[in-house]
Structure 1
Protein backbone atom coordinates (compact mmCIF):
# COMPACT_ATOMS: atom_id res chain seq x y z
CA UNK A 1 0.00 0.00 0.00
CA UNK A 2 1.24 3.51 -0.85
CA UNK A 3 2.65 5.50 2.03
CA UNK A 4 0.54 8.61 2.59
CA UNK A 5 1.95 9.66 5.96
CA UNK A 6 5.20 9.33 7.89
CA UNK A 7 5.21 9.43 11.68
CA UNK A 8 8.48 10.26 13.41
CA UNK A 9 9.49 9.73 17.00
CA UNK A 10 11.26 12.73 18.57
CA UNK A 11 13.86 11.67 21.17
CA UNK A 12 16.56 9.44 19.70
CA UNK A 13 15.01 9.69 16.23
CA UNK A 14 14.70 13.28 15.04
CA UNK A 15 16.52 14.85 18.01
CA UNK A 16 18.87 13.78 20.78
CA UNK A 17 19.56 15.25 24.20
CA UNK A 18 23.11 16.61 23.90
CA UNK A 19 25.01 19.63 25.14
CA UNK A 20 28.45 21.15 24.80
CA UNK A 21 30.52 20.40 27.85
CA UNK A 22 29.62 18.28 30.88
CA UNK A 23 26.19 17.86 32.38
CA UNK A 24 27.20 17.85 36.02
CA UNK A 25 30.86 18.79 36.46
CA UNK A 26 30.10 22.48 36.92
CA UNK A 27 27.31 21.68 39.40
CA UNK A 28 28.83 19.10 41.75
CA UNK A 29 32.00 18.20 43.59
CA UNK A 30 33.09 14.60 43.32
CA UNK A 31 34.36 12.39 40.54
CA UNK A 32 31.74 9.68 40.97
CA UNK A 33 29.00 11.69 39.23
CA UNK A 34 30.87 13.12 36.26
CA UNK A 35 32.46 11.89 33.06
CA UNK A 36 31.26 8.47 31.90
CA UNK A 37 28.94 8.21 34.91
CA UNK A 38 26.96 11.30 33.97
CA UNK A 39 26.73 10.13 30.34
CA UNK A 40 25.28 6.84 31.53
CA UNK A 41 22.87 8.65 33.87
CA UNK A 42 21.54 10.81 31.02
CA UNK A 43 21.21 7.72 28.81
CA UNK A 44 19.15 5.92 31.45
CA UNK A 45 16.95 8.94 32.08
CA UNK A 46 16.07 9.26 28.39
CA UNK A 47 15.36 5.57 27.74
CA UNK A 48 11.92 5.43 26.09
CA UNK A 49 10.24 2.71 28.16
CA UNK A 50 10.83 0.28 31.01
CA UNK A 51 11.73 0.52 34.68
CA UNK A 52 14.63 2.64 35.91
CA UNK A 53 17.40 0.85 37.77
CA UNK A 54 17.98 2.26 41.23
CA UNK A 55 14.48 3.63 41.65
CA UNK A 56 12.49 2.06 44.53
CA UNK A 57 9.40 0.04 43.72
CA UNK A 58 6.98 2.66 45.03
CA UNK A 59 8.30 5.17 42.48
CA UNK A 60 8.39 2.83 39.48
CA UNK A 61 4.72 3.50 38.71
CA UNK A 62 5.39 7.24 38.67
CA UNK A 63 8.36 6.59 36.39
CA UNK A 64 6.14 4.65 33.99
CA UNK A 65 3.67 7.57 33.94
CA UNK A 66 6.24 10.37 33.78
CA UNK A 67 5.55 11.35 30.18
CA UNK A 68 1.85 11.82 30.88
CA UNK A 69 2.28 14.61 33.42
CA UNK A 70 5.02 17.27 33.55
CA UNK A 71 4.69 17.53 37.35
CA UNK A 72 5.15 13.77 37.82
CA UNK A 73 8.08 13.85 35.40
CA UNK A 74 9.83 16.48 37.49
CA UNK A 75 9.06 14.86 40.84
CA UNK A 76 10.26 11.39 39.90
CA UNK A 77 13.46 12.74 38.35
CA UNK A 78 14.23 14.76 41.48
CA UNK A 79 13.62 11.65 43.58
CA UNK A 80 16.10 9.73 41.43
CA UNK A 81 18.68 12.51 41.73
CA UNK A 82 18.28 12.47 45.50
CA UNK A 83 19.03 8.73 45.53
CA UNK A 84 22.30 9.24 43.63
CA UNK A 85 23.35 11.94 46.07
CA UNK A 86 22.66 15.22 44.28
CA UNK A 87 21.87 18.17 46.56
CA UNK A 88 18.43 19.66 45.99
CA UNK A 89 19.67 22.83 44.26
CA UNK A 90 21.95 20.78 42.00
CA UNK A 91 19.14 18.37 41.17
CA UNK A 92 16.88 21.26 40.13
CA UNK A 93 19.60 22.70 37.88
CA UNK A 94 20.34 19.31 36.33
CA UNK A 95 16.66 18.65 35.67
CA UNK A 96 16.31 22.05 34.00
CA UNK A 97 19.06 21.05 31.59
CA UNK A 98 17.30 17.81 30.68
CA UNK A 99 14.11 19.58 29.60
CA UNK A 100 15.76 22.65 28.07
CA UNK A 101 14.99 22.69 24.30
CA UNK A 102 18.41 24.27 23.80
CA UNK A 103 20.03 20.97 24.80
CA UNK A 104 18.10 18.94 22.25
CA UNK A 105 19.90 18.73 18.91
CA UNK A 106 18.50 17.59 15.58
CA UNK A 107 20.19 14.74 13.79
CA UNK A 108 22.09 15.97 10.72
CA UNK A 109 19.39 14.76 8.33
CA UNK A 110 16.33 15.50 10.49
CA UNK A 111 15.16 18.67 8.76
CA UNK A 112 16.04 17.26 5.35
CA UNK A 113 14.01 14.12 6.12
CA UNK A 114 10.97 16.19 7.05
CA UNK A 115 11.39 18.27 3.91
CA UNK A 116 11.75 15.14 1.78
CA UNK A 117 8.41 13.89 3.08
CA UNK A 118 6.78 17.25 2.43
CA UNK A 119 8.22 17.49 -1.10
CA UNK A 120 6.92 14.01 -1.87
CA UNK A 121 3.40 15.21 -1.11
CA UNK A 122 3.19 13.03 1.99
CA UNK A 123 1.76 14.10 5.34
CA UNK A 124 4.04 14.03 8.39
CA UNK A 125 3.58 13.87 12.13
CA UNK A 126 5.60 13.50 15.30
CA UNK A 127 4.39 11.05 17.93
CA UNK A 128 6.39 11.26 21.13
CA UNK A 129 6.44 10.14 24.74
CA UNK A 130 7.53 13.45 26.23
CA UNK A 131 6.40 15.85 28.99
CA UNK A 132 7.28 19.19 27.39
CA UNK A 133 6.38 21.14 24.27
CA UNK A 134 8.88 20.25 21.55
CA UNK A 135 7.70 23.03 19.24
CA UNK A 136 10.35 25.40 20.62
CA UNK A 137 13.13 23.11 19.39
CA UNK A 138 11.43 22.47 16.06
CA UNK A 139 10.80 26.17 15.44
CA UNK A 140 14.41 27.03 16.26
CA UNK A 141 15.58 24.67 13.51
CA UNK A 142 12.96 25.73 10.93
CA UNK A 143 11.37 22.30 11.21
CA UNK A 144 8.00 23.11 12.76
CA UNK A 145 6.51 24.32 9.47
CA UNK A 146 7.39 20.94 7.92
CA UNK A 147 5.29 18.94 10.41
CA UNK A 148 1.54 18.57 9.92
CA UNK A 149 0.65 17.30 13.38
CA UNK A 150 2.10 16.58 16.83
CA UNK A 151 0.81 13.80 19.09
CA UNK A 152 2.59 14.35 22.42
CA UNK A 153 1.93 12.00 25.30
CA UNK A 154 1.41 14.66 27.97
CA UNK A 155 -1.21 16.35 25.77
CA UNK A 156 -3.00 13.24 24.51
CA UNK A 157 -2.97 11.32 27.81
CA UNK A 158 -1.51 8.22 26.18
CA UNK A 159 2.00 6.84 25.78
CA UNK A 160 3.51 4.58 23.16
CA UNK A 161 3.08 1.69 22.52
CA UNK A 162 -0.63 2.36 23.18
CA UNK A 163 -2.18 1.56 19.79
CA UNK A 164 -4.79 4.28 20.21
CA UNK A 165 -2.06 6.93 20.12
CA UNK A 166 -0.99 5.72 16.68
CA UNK A 167 -4.60 5.56 15.50
CA UNK A 168 -5.16 9.10 16.75
CA UNK A 169 -2.11 10.42 14.90
CA UNK A 170 -3.21 8.74 11.67
CA UNK A 171 -6.76 9.99 12.04
CA UNK A 172 -5.59 13.57 12.38
CA UNK A 173 -3.41 13.20 9.31
CA UNK A 174 -6.37 11.81 7.36
CA UNK A 175 -4.82 8.41 6.59
CA UNK A 176 -5.48 4.82 7.51
CA UNK A 177 -2.83 3.25 9.78
CA UNK A 178 -1.95 0.88 6.93
CA UNK A 179 -0.93 3.91 4.86
CA UNK A 180 1.54 5.20 7.47
CA UNK A 181 5.23 4.59 8.09
CA UNK A 182 6.48 4.99 11.68
CA UNK A 183 10.18 5.80 12.13
CA UNK A 184 11.55 5.47 15.65
CA UNK A 185 14.39 4.19 17.79
CA UNK A 186 12.51 1.91 20.22
CA UNK A 187 11.27 -1.53 19.21
CA UNK A 188 9.01 -1.56 22.26
CA UNK A 189 7.53 1.94 22.06
CA UNK A 190 7.61 2.79 18.36
CA UNK A 191 7.12 -0.82 17.31
CA UNK A 192 3.59 -0.51 18.68
CA UNK A 193 2.65 1.08 15.35
CA UNK A 194 2.84 -2.36 13.76
CA UNK A 195 -0.07 -3.46 15.95
CA UNK A 196 -2.37 -1.07 14.08
CA UNK A 197 -1.02 -2.12 10.69
CA UNK A 198 1.56 0.58 10.01
CA UNK A 199 4.97 -0.09 8.56
CA UNK A 200 7.82 0.54 10.99
CA UNK A 201 11.48 1.45 10.48
CA UNK A 202 14.05 1.76 13.24
CA UNK A 203 17.12 3.95 13.66
CA UNK A 204 19.78 3.75 16.35
CA UNK A 205 19.74 6.54 19.00
CA UNK A 206 23.44 7.24 18.47
CA UNK A 207 25.12 10.59 19.14
CA UNK A 208 24.08 12.99 16.40
CA UNK A 209 27.57 13.19 14.89
CA UNK A 210 27.60 9.41 14.43
CA UNK A 211 24.32 9.12 12.52
CA UNK A 212 24.33 11.41 9.49
CA UNK A 213 21.82 9.79 7.11
CA UNK A 214 19.79 7.15 8.97
CA UNK A 215 16.45 8.97 8.57
CA UNK A 216 16.93 9.55 4.87
CA UNK A 217 18.02 5.93 4.46
CA UNK A 218 14.90 4.69 6.25
CA UNK A 219 12.68 6.84 4.02
CA UNK A 220 14.44 5.68 0.85
CA UNK A 221 14.09 2.04 1.90
CA UNK A 222 10.32 2.59 1.87
CA UNK A 223 10.28 4.46 -1.42
CA UNK A 224 10.18 8.02 -0.05
CA UNK A 225 12.88 10.08 -1.77
Structure 2
Protein backbone atom coordinates (compact mmCIF):
# COMPACT_ATOMS: atom_id res chain seq x y z
CA UNK A 1 0.00 0.00 0.00
CA UNK A 2 1.02 3.64 -0.49
CA UNK A 3 0.34 6.89 1.31
CA UNK A 4 -0.51 8.57 -2.00
CA UNK A 5 -0.50 8.04 -5.73
CA UNK A 6 2.87 7.77 -7.50
CA UNK A 7 4.31 10.74 -9.38
CA UNK A 8 4.68 8.99 -12.72
CA UNK A 9 2.43 7.02 -15.07
CA UNK A 10 1.00 3.69 -13.95
CA UNK A 11 0.78 0.46 -15.92
CA UNK A 12 -1.17 -1.94 -13.74
CA UNK A 13 -3.99 -1.84 -11.22
CA UNK A 14 -4.70 0.92 -8.70
CA UNK A 15 -6.93 -0.33 -5.86
CA UNK A 16 -8.60 2.17 -3.52
CA UNK A 17 -10.15 0.06 -0.76
CA UNK A 18 -12.24 2.22 1.60
CA UNK A 19 -10.22 5.28 0.65
CA UNK A 20 -12.78 7.71 -0.76
CA UNK A 21 -14.95 7.64 2.38
CA UNK A 22 -11.99 8.96 4.38
CA UNK A 23 -11.39 12.01 2.19
CA UNK A 24 -12.86 15.26 3.58
CA UNK A 25 -16.29 16.32 2.33
CA UNK A 26 -18.23 19.52 2.72
CA UNK A 27 -21.50 19.01 4.57
CA UNK A 28 -24.64 20.95 3.60
CA UNK A 29 -28.05 21.13 5.26
CA UNK A 30 -31.36 22.07 3.65
CA UNK A 31 -32.98 24.99 5.50
CA UNK A 32 -36.17 27.00 4.85
CA UNK A 33 -33.98 29.49 2.96
CA UNK A 34 -32.08 26.96 0.88
CA UNK A 35 -28.82 25.14 1.50
CA UNK A 36 -26.36 26.10 4.23
CA UNK A 37 -22.96 24.66 5.06
CA UNK A 38 -22.38 22.91 8.38
CA UNK A 39 -19.34 24.27 10.20
CA UNK A 40 -17.92 23.29 13.58
CA UNK A 41 -17.10 25.89 16.21
CA UNK A 42 -16.39 26.06 19.92
CA UNK A 43 -19.22 26.94 22.26
CA UNK A 44 -18.74 30.16 24.21
CA UNK A 45 -17.09 30.94 26.55
CA UNK A 46 -13.88 30.24 24.70
CA UNK A 47 -11.94 27.35 26.11
CA UNK A 48 -15.00 25.47 27.33
CA UNK A 49 -13.96 22.65 25.03
CA UNK A 50 -17.42 21.80 23.68
CA UNK A 51 -17.84 21.70 19.91
CA UNK A 52 -21.11 22.73 18.25
CA UNK A 53 -22.44 22.92 14.70
CA UNK A 54 -23.04 26.26 13.00
CA UNK A 55 -24.90 26.79 9.72
CA UNK A 56 -23.44 29.34 7.29
CA UNK A 57 -24.68 30.59 3.90
CA UNK A 58 -23.18 29.18 0.71
CA UNK A 59 -22.52 30.74 -2.67
CA UNK A 60 -25.26 30.61 -5.34
CA UNK A 61 -23.30 28.09 -7.42
CA UNK A 62 -23.16 25.74 -4.42
CA UNK A 63 -26.92 26.17 -3.94
CA UNK A 64 -27.46 25.24 -7.58
CA UNK A 65 -25.15 22.23 -7.40
CA UNK A 66 -26.87 20.90 -4.27
CA UNK A 67 -30.33 21.42 -5.78
CA UNK A 68 -29.27 19.47 -8.86
CA UNK A 69 -27.89 16.60 -6.76
CA UNK A 70 -30.82 16.35 -4.33
CA UNK A 71 -33.79 18.33 -5.68
CA UNK A 72 -36.31 16.72 -3.30
CA UNK A 73 -34.23 16.93 -0.15
CA UNK A 74 -36.43 17.60 2.90
CA UNK A 75 -35.84 20.49 5.25
CA UNK A 76 -33.13 19.35 7.65
CA UNK A 77 -31.77 16.87 5.12
CA UNK A 78 -28.02 16.84 4.75
CA UNK A 79 -25.79 16.31 1.74
CA UNK A 80 -22.04 15.66 1.43
CA UNK A 81 -20.14 17.36 -1.37
CA UNK A 82 -17.32 14.97 -2.16
CA UNK A 83 -15.08 17.18 -4.28
CA UNK A 84 -11.90 15.60 -2.90
CA UNK A 85 -13.10 12.10 -3.79
CA UNK A 86 -13.87 13.29 -7.32
CA UNK A 87 -10.46 14.97 -7.53
CA UNK A 88 -8.64 11.84 -6.31
CA UNK A 89 -10.31 9.63 -8.92
CA UNK A 90 -9.36 12.18 -11.56
CA UNK A 91 -5.72 12.15 -10.46
CA UNK A 92 -5.64 8.35 -10.46
CA UNK A 93 -7.13 8.14 -13.95
CA UNK A 94 -4.72 10.78 -15.25
CA UNK A 95 -1.80 8.63 -14.07
CA UNK A 96 -3.24 5.37 -15.39
CA UNK A 97 -1.64 4.75 -18.76
CA UNK A 98 -2.70 1.11 -19.08
CA UNK A 99 -4.65 -0.97 -16.60
CA UNK A 100 -7.52 -0.45 -14.17
CA UNK A 101 -8.62 1.71 -11.28
CA UNK A 102 -10.70 -0.28 -8.79
CA UNK A 103 -12.60 1.60 -6.08
CA UNK A 104 -14.18 -0.37 -3.23
CA UNK A 105 -16.29 1.51 -0.69
CA UNK A 106 -19.67 1.93 0.94
CA UNK A 107 -21.66 4.26 -1.29
CA UNK A 108 -25.07 5.75 -1.98
CA UNK A 109 -26.53 8.46 -4.19
CA UNK A 110 -26.68 12.12 -3.21
CA UNK A 111 -30.48 12.16 -3.30
CA UNK A 112 -30.72 9.08 -1.10
CA UNK A 113 -28.23 10.44 1.42
CA UNK A 114 -30.18 13.70 1.68
CA UNK A 115 -33.36 11.74 2.42
CA UNK A 116 -31.75 9.58 5.13
CA UNK A 117 -30.86 10.62 8.70
CA UNK A 118 -27.31 11.90 8.45
CA UNK A 119 -26.21 9.94 11.51
CA UNK A 120 -26.66 6.80 9.42
CA UNK A 121 -24.04 7.85 6.90
CA UNK A 122 -21.72 10.17 8.83
CA UNK A 123 -19.80 7.43 10.60
CA UNK A 124 -17.15 7.51 13.28
CA UNK A 125 -14.80 4.71 14.24
CA UNK A 126 -12.68 4.55 17.35
CA UNK A 127 -10.58 1.47 18.11
CA UNK A 128 -12.60 -0.39 15.48
CA UNK A 129 -15.95 0.42 17.12
CA UNK A 130 -18.54 2.46 15.23
CA UNK A 131 -19.99 5.55 16.85
CA UNK A 132 -22.56 8.19 15.88
CA UNK A 133 -21.31 11.46 17.43
CA UNK A 134 -18.67 13.01 15.16
CA UNK A 135 -18.00 15.93 17.53
CA UNK A 136 -17.03 13.65 20.41
CA UNK A 137 -13.40 12.63 20.94
CA UNK A 138 -11.96 15.08 18.37
CA UNK A 139 -8.67 13.83 17.00
CA UNK A 140 -9.18 10.39 18.54
CA UNK A 141 -11.62 8.82 16.08
CA UNK A 142 -12.01 8.48 12.33
CA UNK A 143 -14.88 10.38 10.70
CA UNK A 144 -16.12 9.03 7.38
CA UNK A 145 -19.13 9.41 5.11
CA UNK A 146 -20.82 7.05 2.70
CA UNK A 147 -19.48 8.05 -0.69
CA UNK A 148 -22.01 9.84 -2.95
CA UNK A 149 -20.90 7.84 -5.96
CA UNK A 150 -23.10 9.75 -8.40
CA UNK A 151 -20.89 12.79 -7.84
CA UNK A 152 -17.84 10.79 -8.94
CA UNK A 153 -19.59 9.11 -11.86
CA UNK A 154 -20.98 12.44 -13.03
CA UNK A 155 -17.43 13.58 -13.77
CA UNK A 156 -15.72 10.24 -14.47
CA UNK A 157 -18.36 7.82 -15.78
CA UNK A 158 -17.98 4.05 -15.95
CA UNK A 159 -20.45 1.28 -16.63
CA UNK A 160 -18.60 -1.20 -14.43
CA UNK A 161 -20.34 -0.74 -11.08
CA UNK A 162 -21.62 -3.63 -8.95
CA UNK A 163 -21.60 -4.90 -5.38
CA UNK A 164 -18.50 -6.55 -3.96
CA UNK A 165 -20.04 -10.04 -3.84
CA UNK A 166 -20.84 -9.92 -7.56
CA UNK A 167 -17.37 -8.57 -8.35
CA UNK A 168 -15.56 -11.29 -6.40
CA UNK A 169 -17.71 -14.03 -7.91
CA UNK A 170 -16.82 -12.74 -11.37
CA UNK A 171 -13.16 -13.27 -10.43
CA UNK A 172 -13.73 -16.86 -9.36
CA UNK A 173 -13.93 -16.62 -5.58
CA UNK A 174 -16.38 -19.53 -5.47
CA UNK A 175 -13.77 -21.82 -7.07
CA UNK A 176 -11.24 -20.77 -4.43
CA UNK A 177 -13.78 -21.51 -1.70
CA UNK A 178 -14.49 -24.94 -3.17
CA UNK A 179 -10.76 -25.71 -3.20
CA UNK A 180 -10.49 -24.54 0.40
CA UNK A 181 -13.40 -26.67 1.55
CA UNK A 182 -11.96 -29.75 -0.16
CA UNK A 183 -8.53 -29.20 1.38
CA UNK A 184 -10.02 -28.64 4.82
CA UNK A 185 -12.10 -31.80 4.49
CA UNK A 186 -9.00 -33.79 3.57
CA UNK A 187 -6.67 -32.34 6.20
CA UNK A 188 -8.93 -31.32 9.10
CA UNK A 189 -7.79 -34.30 11.14
CA UNK A 190 -4.17 -33.29 10.58
CA UNK A 191 -4.78 -29.67 11.54
CA UNK A 192 -1.60 -28.42 9.87
CA UNK A 193 -1.02 -24.94 8.47
CA UNK A 194 -2.41 -25.84 5.05
CA UNK A 195 -5.66 -27.05 6.64
CA UNK A 196 -5.99 -23.91 8.76
CA UNK A 197 -5.33 -21.67 5.77
CA UNK A 198 -8.00 -23.54 3.80
CA UNK A 199 -10.57 -23.09 6.57
CA UNK A 200 -9.64 -19.42 6.87
CA UNK A 201 -10.11 -18.98 3.12
CA UNK A 202 -13.67 -20.28 3.38
CA UNK A 203 -14.61 -18.05 6.34
CA UNK A 204 -12.99 -14.95 4.86
CA UNK A 205 -14.75 -15.46 1.52
CA UNK A 206 -18.09 -15.80 3.30
CA UNK A 207 -17.49 -12.48 5.07
CA UNK A 208 -16.38 -10.71 1.89
CA UNK A 209 -19.53 -11.85 0.05
CA UNK A 210 -22.02 -11.37 2.90
CA UNK A 211 -24.91 -9.38 1.42
CA UNK A 212 -25.63 -7.77 4.80
CA UNK A 213 -22.03 -6.66 5.28
CA UNK A 214 -18.93 -6.39 3.12
CA UNK A 215 -20.60 -8.06 0.15
CA UNK A 216 -22.88 -5.03 -0.21
CA UNK A 217 -19.94 -2.65 -0.68
CA UNK A 218 -19.77 -1.02 -4.10
CA UNK A 219 -17.01 -1.80 -6.59
CA UNK A 220 -16.43 0.63 -9.46
CA UNK A 221 -13.85 -0.12 -12.16
CA UNK A 222 -12.33 2.22 -14.76
CA UNK A 223 -10.14 0.71 -17.48
CA UNK A 224 -7.43 2.09 -19.74
CA UNK A 225 -6.33 -0.08 -22.68
Alignment TM-score, normalising by the size of structure 2 = 0.29
Larger RCO (CA within 8 A; separation ≥ 6)? 1
Alignment TM-score, normalising by the size of structure 1 = 0.29
Larger radius of gyration: 2
User: Relative to total residues, which structure has the larger strand share, 1 or 2?
Assistant: 2
